Amino acid sequence: MSQASPIAAAQVRDAAPLFAALGDETRLRLLVRLAASGPESITHLSAESTVSRQAIKKHLDVLSKAGLVRGDRRGREHIWELEPKRFADACEYLDRISRQWDDALDRLKHFVED
Amino acid sequence: MSQASPIAAAQVRDAAPLFAALGDETRLRLLVRLAASGPESITHLSAESTVSRQAIKKHLDVLSKAGLVRGDRRGREHIWELEPKRFADACEYLDRISRQWDDALDRLKHFVED
DNA sequence: GTCATAGGCAACCTCCTGGTTGCATCTTAC
DNA sequence: GTAAGATGCAACCAGGAGGTTGCCTATGAC
């Protein structure tokens, strides 16, 4: 009887780029790094990475477009920080799919029992 | 003082393919469809899609490798169903990054105040 | 003002990914 | 056993993604 609300097509179109942004090892490492150390500049971030500064910059752009990080120019540095709300968005989305699956199984069960 | 446990490199390597599997609109639609209707065959799933049956099959393989769905051969049909546990895994992962970010900001705040 | 440092832009390359078509295989219905 | 339905497999193709190098711009230190 949980009756999760249905998932609209527009939400799928919004969620796909979000998960796509999360679906790269280098980007995930960037997020983990940011989460552990707090706001950081591009140079600092790329110093601890195996790939070039430009690669890191591209990844940050992708993450930024997905709303997962936010960049802030301070003088000649560009400081990046996490945007925790988007993480919650993604979580909620997954949770809704899960609940709808549970509902579907419940319906199947009742259908069989009738 | 929440002190979220650190995120290991191995977990990043595990999580990236999981999110990558979620990061495609066609695949997300498949998951939403499965969640709404319960277990379904490939032919049924592709009937409601704009892309070919083979494309759907490939996507199901990707989702399966990521552990998000499970396929079961029944006679000449191949029935696919959701694997809700993986959704919870992804959620938990995102949650851990978020909490670590909160910790980092707390530490920064205390550092400034000292 | 000059120089080093931080960052952005653009061109380029390679490989993976999403998609297709064509054909083979396996089941079930009759 | 034969035909139709459901699926798997392989080859192929176009475009995008991740990465690199080279060069330009802007800012801060001195």
B72 — phi, psi (to 5°)? -140, 120
Q: What is the pLDDT of residue B86?
A: 97
Q: Which residues of A touch B110 (CB under 8 A)?
A: none
> Is the residue at A28 inside a domain?
yes
- Calculate how close chain A gets to B14, using CA atoms only, in Å: 9
CA B54 to chain centre: 21
> Is the residue at A108 inside a domain?
yes
> Is the residue at B60 inside a domain?
yes
Place of tokens 């945007």: A83
Distance CA B106, CA A44 (A): 21
B3 — phi, psi (to 5°)? 50, 65
**Residue pLDDT, tens place only, B23-60:** 999 999 999 999 999 999 999 999 999 999 999 999 99
**Residue pLDDT, tens place only, B52-94:** 999 999 999 999 999 999 999 999 999 999 999 999 999 999 9
CB environment B25-47: b (16+ within 10 A), e (fewer): bebbbbbbebbbbbbbebeebbe
Nearest CA to A104 out of B85, B37, B31, B88 is that of: B37
> Is the residue at A1 inside a domain?
no
A37: CATH: 1.10.10.10
**Positions in chain D where some atom is under 7 Å from a protein CB:** 5-11, 17-22, 26-28
> Is the residue at A92 inside a domain?
yes
Q: What is the pLDDT of residue A81?
A: 97
CA B103-B112-A33 angle, 5° bins: 35
Torsion of CA A36, A40, A44, A47, to 10 degrees: 40
> Is the residue at B16 inside a domain?
yes
Alpha helices, DSSP H, located in A1-83: 9-22, 25-37, 42-47, 53-65
Higher pLDDT: A1 or A99? It is A99
Residues of chain A whose beta carbon is less than 8 angstroms from a beta carbon of chain B are: 6-7, 9, 12-13, 15-25, 28-29, 31-32, 34-38, 82, 84, 87-88, 90-91, 94-95, 97-98, 100-102, 104-105, 107-108
Q: What is the pLDDT of residue A112?
A: 66
In the three-class reduction of DSSP (H, G, I as helix; E, B as strand; rest coil), residue B46 is classed as: helix
Number of domains, chain B: 1
Interval B102-107 mean pLDDT = 92
Nearest CA to B5 out of B108, B78, B97, B69 is that of: B97
A72 CB closer than 7 A to any strand D atom: no
> Is the residue at B96 inside a domain?
no
**Residue pLDDT, tens place only, A14-64:** 999 999 999 999 999 999 999 999 999 999 999 999 999 999 999 999 999
For B75, the domain range is: 9-83
Q: What is the pLDDT of residue A18?
A: 98
Q: What is the pLDDT of residue A113?
A: 63
Substitution target in B5, B14, B70, B98 with the highest count of A β-carbons within 10 Å is: B98
> Is the residue at B61 inside a domain?
yes
Q: Give B7's contacts (C-beta < 8 A, 6+ positions apart).
A: A32, A35, A36, B93, B96, B97, B100
Distance CA A19, CA A37 (A): 23
Distance CA B20, CA A24 (A): 7
**Residue pLDDT, tens place only, A68-102:** 999 999 999 999 999 999 999 999 999 999 999 99
